[in-house]
């Protein structure tokens, strides 16, 4: 494990927890799983001596884990910032001990990312051969009986998505150039994520959608739950960046999360004031990023303690994405809500300087 790496994979960062769970896990394990489904859920949600990786409904996690123990693939669906990628990484780490079999879906993703490609220098010199074949993460997962992760599935072109149909239905990839096929061994499965904001970009065909069990990840239900998530993840990221740990006083995080939630829902928490919602998503992930920016400002240019002055730039940056309408919406929020709210004068003044 290299301590200089900016971000460790889940199986590296939490290898001690995974090893401890594996040592004490006496429940049945599906073929090629490192842990039993019960222990996977404990790893994700937290247990004695195990930190929680996901804060949310246990039943959702149990459904996701149970799906992966069947021959059905798993689709994690939700708004940006609902921990789809985070959950998929930790599920793969706990089940396969390897979260690196990853395909990032974009408009430029080619079919070879799902199936296979060729080393063209060897292909020209030697013709089609095993040595010239470049296996995709899917082929590697099928051969090793591991979980494969596909991020932003609906960002991929429809014809590339459809390459998954054979994989998920036949559990095999034919290679006609070599007159052979790769068959999946037990333990192989796919976790895909999809952003509900991308609806209409590249919709899944009905044939492909039928091959997934879908789990919808919601936004945090309560303010306290979202504050806890932001504090936990901001501290974890801050630790890897060698930033000071957030103090137990969560007042600045609570205010930032309150702003995000109120603008997101278009009204104040008490329902008394209607608000214009900006174009930004204002997800939990963006709140974490804003807090981390504030931590960096406090550590390098401030007193080391997070205050409104350090939180304001990240808050404004997250909200104002489309300058004219978003600035107008945020100014209205500052004047009608923040300015009048007891104990918020410092945050109001710090943000008002920036918009």
Judge contact between 137 and 102, C-beta under 8 A. yes
The ranges assigned to domains in the chain are: 10-216, 223-352
pTM over 0.75? The answer is: yes
CATH architecture, range 10-216: 3-Layer(aba) Sandwich (3.40)
Instruction: Report whether pLDDT(267) > 90.
Output: yes
Tell me: the pLDDT tens digits for 293-342?
A: 999 998 889 888 889 999 999 999 999 999 899 999 999 999 999 999 99
**pLDDT the model gives residue 196:** 84
Instruction: Report whether pLDDT(2) > 70.
Output: no
Tell me: the pLDDT tens digits for 60-97?
A: 999 999 999 999 999 999 988 899 999 999 999 999 99
Tell me: the pLDDT tens digits for 130-156?
A: 999 999 999 999 999 999 999 999 999
């Amino acid at each position: 494990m290299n301590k200089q790496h900016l971000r460790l994979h889940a199986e590296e960062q939490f290898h001690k927890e995974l090893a401890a769970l594996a040592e004490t896990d006496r429940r049945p394990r599906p073929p090629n799983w490192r842990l039993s489904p019960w222990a996977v859920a404990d790893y994700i949600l937290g247990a004695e001596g195990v930190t929680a990786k996901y804060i949310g409904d246990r039943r959702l996690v149990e459904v996701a884990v149970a799906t992966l123990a069947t021959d059905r693939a798993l689709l994690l669906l939700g708004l940006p910032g609902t921990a789809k990628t985070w959950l998929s990484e930790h599920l793969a780490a706990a089940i396969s001990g390897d979260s690196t079999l990853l395909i990032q879906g974009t408009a430029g993703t080619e079919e070879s990312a799902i199936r296979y490609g060729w080393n063209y220098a060897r292909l020209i010199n030697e013709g089609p051969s095993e040595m010239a074949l470049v296996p995709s993460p899917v082929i590697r997962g099928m051969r090793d009986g591991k979980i494969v992760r596909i991020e932003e599935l609906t960002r991929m072109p429809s014809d590339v998505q459809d390459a998954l149909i054979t994989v998920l239905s036949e559990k095999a990839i034919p290679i006609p150039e070599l007159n052979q096929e790769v068959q999946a061994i037990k333990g192989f499965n796919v976790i895909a994520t999809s952003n509900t904001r991308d609806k209409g970009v590249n919709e899944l065909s009905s044939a492909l959608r039928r091959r997934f069990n879908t789990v919808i990840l919601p936004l945090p239900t309560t303010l306290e739950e979202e504050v806890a998530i932001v504090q936990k993840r901001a501290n974890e990221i801050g630790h890897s960046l060698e930033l000071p740990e957030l103090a137990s006083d969560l007042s600045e995080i609570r205010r930032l999360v309150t702003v995000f939630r109120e603008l997101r829902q278009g009204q104040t928490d008490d329902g008394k004031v209607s608000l214009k919602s900006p174009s930004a998503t204002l997800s939990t992930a963006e709140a974490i990023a804003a807090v981390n920016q504030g931590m960096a400002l406090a550590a390098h240019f401030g007193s080391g303690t997070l205050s409104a002055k350090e939180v304001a730039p990240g808050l404004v940056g997250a909200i104002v994405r489309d300058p004219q309408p978003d600035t107008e919406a945020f100014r209205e929020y500052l004047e009608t809500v923040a300015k009048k709210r007891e104990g918020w004068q410092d945050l109001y003044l710090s943000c008002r300087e920036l918009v």
